[in-house]
């Protein structure tokens, strides 16, 4: 497509239009295993809003799809390219434009890495609470595009609660600014939240205004060991019923504990059926808050409850949780000959009172479809990530894994839950989103898409 490439180079400069085959292959997909991906014709790296406008205008003239990409750490295939598309990378849109300590806000470009933002605002005694597991490499734009969560969501909520405005380029090439910088404001439709979680299907985000919060008080960490996941789930329901609000409440099942210990030995209880990792960031009240959490866990059937002895041990426990994904990737790879093991990662959220039923159901699904399923997730808000282990080289194994995935989706919806708590819909869950929304909800989504991207060139095939 020489005319397309020439037009892109004329608009951005040759250095911002990349066509090396190895680089194109590296930008085909995100980290979702077993999702289809095509080969893009070019990767563009605009450095400002005008460059993004130019890419979209050139692509529109040629009728070529545009795939927005951040760090490609997503787990639902939302950043996967389609054949012949132009990838619009936000890697060069990586400036922290402003930090305002008085109004507790920051203005950033979408390519800013979460860890870099965290370090910058910490100098002002502030924080951006959403903390996805990939925070050291994932970008704020990716957070916003998928409405990402993380381990602190149980107390502090997800990304949408901190996005107060943005600049976004629509599929038409028009630039839209949404939101405001005031502490309060209810004028008009909430267009800001419309774009949060839209996965690049409605526009390309070029600037984000974020609400910040003060740094929390000193935190203490606790571990509760359970004989099985369902008992741990019952403890989570008990914690919620008791009116307790830990700053972190994470679950690791036996499969994950073994995988993490094999990946990086740190003395985890690999004989446990499940482990709950809890924290309280309430400073001088933290010890009492942990004691109340411990009482609930013990009453629910915990075999053992212990507190981290110091900050180093607490950090190690938190790091163990963050290692869950790479540890399971290695576990899967080694489960089958030739390193052919892969993961189908689910992301289902249910009401807290239904968590035990979900965990019990996942165990039954694993037995029924004869697949290994490890469960990890944000127990405090009912958001679990069943990791289904499959053999990429065996069609029968892949088919069983897909049926298990669908069974977990069905179970989650039957329990009053949702098909995705934080990873997004992408390619993995289009069918299940449609079931969750219903016909009217689907038509409204399609109408919004048609209004903002009439040519249908922005990230086609994702979400709906």
Q: Could you read off the pLDDT of 145-162 as tens digits, one per residue? A: 999 998 888 999 999 999
Spatial separation of the C-alpha atoms in residues 82 and 380, rounded to whole Å? 37
Q: Could you read off the pLDDT of 381-414 as tens digits, one per residue? A: 999 999 999 999 999 999 999 999 999 999 999 9
Task: Say if 426 falls within a structural domain.
Answer: no
Residue 185 pLDDT = 87
Q: What is the CATH number of the domain that holds 385?
A: 3.40.462.40
CB 158 within 8 A of CB 130: yes
Q: pLDDT above 70 covers what percent of the chain?
A: 100
Q: Could you read off the pLDDT of 93-139 as tens digits, one per residue? A: 999 999 999 999 999 999 999 999 999 999 999 999 998 888 899 99
Could you tell me the CA-to-CA distances from 143 to 69, 140, 149, 361, 423 in Å, in that order?
A: 12, 5, 8, 30, 9
* Burial status of residue 313 (CB atoms within 10 A of its CB: 0-12, 13-18, 19 or more): middle
Same-domain check for residues 288 and 402: yes
Same-domain check for residues 375 and 251: yes
Whether the pLDDT of residue 53 is over 80: the answer is yes
Task: Say if 429 falls within a structural domain.
Answer: no
Same-domain check for residues 143 and 6: no
Containing structural domain, residue 57: 2-89
Of residues 370, 404, 399, 367, the one with CA closest to residue 386: 404
Task: Say if 28 falls within a structural domain.
Answer: yes
Confidence class of residue 33 from pLDDT cuts 50, 70 and 90?
Answer: confident
Task: Say if 265 falls within a structural domain.
Answer: yes
Same-domain check for residues 365 and 240: yes
CB 420 within 8 A of CB 347: yes
Same-domain check for residues 52 and 117: no
Q: What is the CATH number of the domain that holds 107?
A: 3.30.465.10
Spatial separation of the C-alpha atoms in residues 114 and 167, rounded to whole Å? 19
Q: What is the CATH number of the domain that holds 70?
A: 3.30.43.10
Same-domain check for residues 358 and 375: yes
Same-domain check for residues 149 and 207: yes
Residue 2 pLDDT = 80
Taking the CA atoms of 257, 258, 263 and 266 in sequence, report the sign of the dihedral they define.
positive
Task: Say if 461 falls within a structural domain.
Answer: no
Q: Could you read off the pLDDT of 221-250 as tens digits, one per residue? A: 999 999 999 999 999 999 999 999 999 999
Whether the pLDDT of residue 454 is over 80: the answer is yes
Residue 389 pLDDT = 97
Where does a domain end: 89, 123, 151?
89
Same-domain check for residues 100 and 169: yes
Domain count for the chain, please give it.
3
Q: Could you read off the pLDDT of 424-443 as tens digits, one per residue? A: 999 999 999 999 999 999 99
Where does a domain end: 214, 246, 271?
214
Task: Say if 247 falls within a structural domain.
Answer: yes
Same-domain check for residues 262 and 323: yes
Average model confidence (pLDDT) for the chain? 96
Same-domain check for residues 224 and 210: no
* Burial status of residue 173 (CB atoms within 10 A of its CB: 0-12, 13-18, 19 or more): middle
Could you tell me the CA-to-CA distances from 372 to 92, 209, 366, 375 in Å, in that order?
A: 40, 42, 6, 10
Same-domain check for residues 56 and 147: no
Task: Say if 66 falls within a structural domain.
Answer: yes
CB 143 within 8 A of CB 132: yes
Residue 32 pLDDT = 92
Q: With the CA atoms of 321, 326, 330 and 335 taken in that order, what torsion angle do they form, in degrees rounded to the nearest 10? A: 60
Residue 84 pLDDT = 97
pLDDT mean over 270-290: 96
Q: What angle do CA 107, 109, 115 make, to 5 degrees?
A: 85
Q: Could you read off the pLDDT of 169-220 as tens digits, one per residue? A: 999 899 999 999 998 889 999 999 999 999 999 999 999 999 999 999 999 9
Task: Say if 167 falls within a structural domain.
Answer: yes
Same-domain check for residues 226 and 364: yes
pLDDT mean over 326-352: 94
Where does a domain end: 168, 199, 214?
214
Spatial separation of the C-alpha atoms in residues 120 and 360, rounded to whole Å? 43
Whether the pLDDT of residue 1 is over 80: the answer is no
pLDDT mean over 8-32: 97
Task: Please tell me the number of Cα atoms within 13 Å of 128 on its side-chain side.
Answer: 35
Question: Element (H or E) spanning 13, and its range?
Answer: none
Confidence class of residue 70 from pLDDT cuts 50, 70 and 90?
Answer: very high
How many helices, marked H, and strands, marked E, lie in the chain? 15, 19
């Amino acid at each position: 497509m020489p005319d397309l490439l020439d037009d892109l180079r004329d608009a951005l400069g040759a250095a911002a239009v990349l066509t090396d085959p190895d680089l194109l292959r590296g930008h085909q997909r995100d980290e979702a295993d077993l999702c289809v991906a095509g080969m893009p014709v070019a990767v563009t790296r605009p450095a400002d809003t005008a460059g993004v406008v130019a890419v979209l205008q050139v692509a529109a003239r040629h009728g070529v799809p545009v795939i927005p990409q951040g760090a490609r750490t997503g787990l639902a295939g939302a950043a996967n390219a389609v054949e012949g598309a132009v990838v619009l990378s936000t890697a060069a849109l990586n400036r922290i434009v402003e930090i305002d300590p008085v109004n507790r806000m920051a203005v950033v470009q979408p390519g800013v890495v979460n860890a870099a933002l965290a370090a910058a605002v910490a100098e002002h005694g502030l924080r951006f609470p959403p903390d996805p597991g990939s925070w050291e490499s994932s970008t704020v734009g990716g957070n916003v595009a998928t409405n990402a969560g993380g381990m602190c969501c149980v107390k502090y909520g997800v990304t949408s609660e901190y996005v107060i405005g943005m600049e976004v380029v629509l599929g038409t090439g028009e630039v839209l600014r949404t939101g405001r910088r005031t502490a309060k404001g209810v004028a008009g439709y909430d267009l800001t939240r419309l774009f949060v979680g839209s996965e690049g299907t409605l526009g390309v985000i070029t600037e984000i205004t974020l609400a910040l919060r003060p740094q929390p008080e000193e935190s203490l960490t606790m571990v509760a060991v359970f004989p099985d996941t369902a008992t741990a789930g019952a403890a989570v329901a008990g914690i919620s019923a008791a009116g307790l609000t830990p700053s972190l409440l994470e679950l690791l099942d036996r499969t994950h504990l073994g995988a993490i210990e094999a990946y990086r030995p740190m003395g985890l209880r690999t004989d446990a059926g499940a482990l709950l990792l809890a924290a309280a960031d309430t400073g001088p009240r933290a010890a009492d808050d942990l004691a109340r959490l411990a009482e609930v866990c013990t009453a629910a059937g915990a075999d053992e409850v212990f507190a981290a002895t110091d900050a180093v041990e607490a950090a190690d426990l938190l790091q163990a949780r963050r290692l869950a994904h790479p540890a399971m990737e290695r576990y899967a790879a080694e489960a089958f000959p030739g390193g052919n093991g892969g993961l189908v990662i689910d992301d289902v959220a249910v009401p807290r009172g239904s968590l035990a039923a979900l965990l019990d159901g996942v165990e039954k699904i694993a037995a029924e479809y004869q697949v290994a399923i490890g469960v990890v997730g944000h127990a405090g808000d009912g958001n679990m990530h069943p990791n289904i282990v499959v053999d990429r080289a065996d069609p029968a194994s892949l088919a069983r894994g897909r049926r298990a995935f669908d069974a977990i989706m069905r179970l989650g919806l039957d329990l009053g839950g949702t098909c995705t708590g934080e990873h997004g819909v992408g390619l993995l869950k289009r069918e299940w989103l449609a079931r969750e929304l219903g016909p009217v909800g689907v038509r409204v989504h399609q109408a919004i898409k048609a209004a903002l991207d009439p040519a249908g060139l922005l990230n086609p095939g994702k979400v709906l």
